[in-house]
Amino acid sequence: MDIDRYISEAVSRSVEALYGPLGEEPLQIQKTRKEFEGDYTLVVFPLLRRSRKSPEATATEIGEYLAAHTPDIAAFNVVKGFLNLSLSASFWGARFEEIASDADYGQAPATGRNIMIEYSSPNTNKPLHLGHIRNNLLGYSVAQILKANGHHVIKVNLVNDRGIHICKSMLAWKLYGNGETPASSGMKGDHLVGKYYVEFDRHYKEQVRELVAAGRSEEEAKHEAPLMREAQEMLRKWEAKDPEVYSLWEMMNSWVYEGFDVTYKALGVDFDKVYYESQTYLLGKDIVQKGLDMGIFFRKEDNSVWIDLTADGLDQKLLLRGDGTSVYMTQDLGTAYRRFTDNNLDDMIYVVGNEQNYHFQVLKLVLKKLGYAWSDNITHLSYGMVELPNGKMKSREGTVVDADDLIADMIGTAREMSAELGKLDGCSEEEADAISRMVGLGALKYFILKVDPKKTMLFDPRESIDFNGNTGPFIQYTHARIRSVLRKAQEMGISFASAATTSFLPEEIALIKQLSDYPNAVRSAADNFAPSIVAAYAYELAKQYNAYYHDHSILKESDEAVRAMRLRLSEQVARILKQSMRLLGIDVPERM
């Protein structure tokens, strides 16, 4: 049952019976605020011109009619112009039966839209870092949430495998690598290539300093530095398919892909398709030519291609360099076109940091001017940066936090803290390793996903592994606690599969209400592309259950019917906790 709709229809019938047919203006009904008694609240102020009575009298009249004609309304109270409605225990008991008997509870039928979501989008010149972690976790979770809402979702990765930044790593390896490989160095391939990207930067800055000392301006020095000129020449050769450059590019990229796959597997994220910019930039060039032919784009004296968006409140945007090489916008035009035409998409979601807000504003506008109506169905899911307390993590490169280092640190910290708290007592070494990995990654994922995507966030590894408070381990431990109770019940031969009762304590009804709200949380998370809504829901459910568990006996309850009902209620809480966390890409342990 859709409880919101049920209440809305009951209230509508009552208002129409009292005051005549309603117009198109919707009734204002909301969940009752926690400080007041009730489940749903009707705001009666908009109805006063119909009732011609005071707010209190109008609310009382509607409440009395509802109580008399809707058996599920157990009570009502009036606070000024607000009518608070309380639903009966039998109503919530019936909702609990629906939840317990529905194997697909919270999962919408697969009749939604065809949606592609792009996340990760790494460059093949360096390993994944902390920013990529937020990107991957956010993209994967939003995909899971959209699927739960009945949409067909295609998860894709766009690998930035071409461009000047890639040539910098390639050139540095060629000049300073002495044939070093992942096998000879023992380094992951992405780390090895990243090492040479840093090496390029070190030598390049040295050349710039020398040129400045010789009298060049800094801007001149940056353009004239031999390394930069060589890298630009290498890019031109790559676009011309020079055999030697292309072979080097393929070899070094293969190293990086192997390294990325290890990190993706550790994070628990995957993709249905992988796109490569090297395969889409030529299509982008064709689209740029189309724009020139249509008179939408123009050439400058240096032969570069631009679009003038000043009339739209933006500026002029480069689409193709003077030497004919592509920029990000070139390949993004080609990639967008290919995706929509190849996959018959309804929507395309790009998960990219907020420093690219302007880029996507321009991309949508350019595509629209080119006549592609589907440009309106492009969404940039923008997110803020992740920061760490100083000294908490040590970067492999000294400038960013390496994803592999962070994952290893989280698992190690989880092992240490779990052991200190006795959470691993009685576990075999294999079980302890599995729990430490589950808790460490759960802590990382939950801490990042519980924050609204648009906000910049501070990530504290140790704080995230706290087993109390709003953390992943707290929810994981709650699930493990419930599963332990259910195992003991099974060992004791207690059957509770079909337990039912019409008598519930207020705390039990509160848990049923929270379980009933799960589909709303999943729907709202999809509407807002916000896993933080699911995280907040899971935490509230876990918090409520822990308070209930602390105050009421379950296995030692003497009344067999009550004991069976409590076990069945506990089982459903564990199920919904597991489903909620799965939407966040987080596993929950059976024991801890």
Query: How much of the chain exceeds pLDDT 70, in percent?
Result: 97
- Considering only CA atoms, which of 297, 312, 172 is closest in space to residue 228? 172
Q: Which two tokens stand for residue 249?
A: 């590019």
Contacts of 538 (CB under 8 A, 6+ apart): 475, 577, 580, 581, 584
Contacts of 458 (CB under 8 A, 6+ apart): 386, 387, 388, 389
Q: Please give the tally of structural domains in the chain.
A: 2
Burial of 414 (0-12, 13-18, 19+ CB in 10 A): buried
**What would the pLDDT profile of 91-110 be if each residue is shown by its tens digit?**
999 999 999 999 999 999 98
Q: How far is CA 242 from the centre of its chain?
A: 41
Q: Is the pLDDT of residue 1 over 60?
A: yes
Query: How much of the chain exceeds pLDDT 90, in percent?
Result: 81
What pLDDT is recorded for position 396? 37
| Rounded Cα distance, 365 and 307, in Å | 11
**What would the pLDDT profile of 198-246 be if each residue is shown by its tens digit?**
999 999 999 999 999 999 999 999 999 999 999 999 999 998 999 999 9
| Rounded Cα distance, 253 and 245, in Å | 12
- Of the candidates 61, 87, 113, which is a domain's last residue? 87
| Segment among 22-26, 283-287, 322-326, 483-487 with least mean pLDDT | 22-26
What pLDDT is recorded for position 391? 44
What pLDDT is recorded for position 460? 80
Contacts of 487 (CB under 8 A, 6+ apart): none
Asked whether residue 445 is assigned to any structural domain, the reply reads yes
- Considering only CA atoms, which of 47, 33, 46 is closest in space to residue 79? 33
Q: Which two tokens stand for residue 158?
A: 């766009």
Q: What is the value of pTM for the model shown?
A: 0.90
Q: How many residues appear in the chain?
A: 592
* Distances, alpha carbon 505 to alpha carbons 3, 94, 498, in Å: 21, 15, 19
- Of the candidates 55, 87, 119, which is a domain's last residue? 87
What pLDDT is recorded for position 394? 40
Contacts of 457 (CB under 8 A, 6+ apart): 134, 384, 385, 386, 387, 448, 451
Asked whether residue 244 is assigned to any structural domain, the reply reads no
What pLDDT is recorded for position 393? 39
**Domain harbouring 447, CATH code:** 1.10.730.10
**Domain harbouring 9, CATH code:** 3.30.1360.70
Q: The dihedral of CA 185, 186, 189, 194: what is its sign?
A: negative
Asked whether residue 68 is assigned to any structural domain, the reply reads yes
Q: Could you tell me whether strands 347-353 and 378-383 are parallel, antiparallel, or unpaired per DSSP bridges?
A: parallel
The whole domain housing 19 covers 3-87
Which residue type does 69 have?
Answer: H
Q: Is the pLDDT of residue 395 over 70?
A: no
150 and 121 in contact (C-beta within 8 Å)?
no
What pLDDT is recorded for position 580? 98
Which residue type does 573 have?
Answer: V
**What would the pLDDT profile of 51-104 be if each residue is shown by its tens digit?**
999 999 999 999 999 999 999 999 999 999 999 999 999 999 999 999 999 999
Greater model confidence, 162 or 546: 546
Asked whether residue 34 is assigned to any structural domain, the reply reads yes
Greater model confidence, 30 or 421: 30
Asked whether residue 54 is assigned to any structural domain, the reply reads yes
| Rounded Cα distance, 292 and 284, in Å | 12
- Binning pLDDT at 50, 70 and 90, where does residue 468 land? confident
What pLDDT is recorded for position 492? 93
Asked whether residue 543 is assigned to any structural domain, the reply reads yes
Asked whether residue 192 is assigned to any structural domain, the reply reads no
| Segment among 10-19, 118-127, 207-216, 499-508 with least mean pLDDT | 499-508
567 and 557 in contact (C-beta within 8 Å)?
no
Give the H/E segment covering residue 85: strand 82-87
80 and 55 in contact (C-beta within 8 Å)?
yes
Q: How far is CA 530 from the centre of its chain?
A: 6
- Binning pLDDT at 50, 70 and 90, where does residue 24 land? confident
Contacts of 103 (CB under 8 A, 6+ apart): none
Mean pLDDT computed over 19-41: 91
Most confident of 132-136, 274-278, 429-433, 496-500: 132-136
Residue-wise DSSP of 242-274: -HHHHHHHHHHHHHHHHHHHHHHHHHT---SEE
529: left (phi over 0), alpha (psi -120 to 50) or beta: left
Q: Is the pLDDT of residue 400 over 80?
A: no
- Of the candidates 26, 54, 87, which is a domain's last residue? 87
- Binning pLDDT at 50, 70 and 90, where does residue 324 land? confident
Asked whether residue 258 is assigned to any structural domain, the reply reads no
What pLDDT is recorded for position 325? 81
- Binning pLDDT at 50, 70 and 90, where does residue 502 land? low
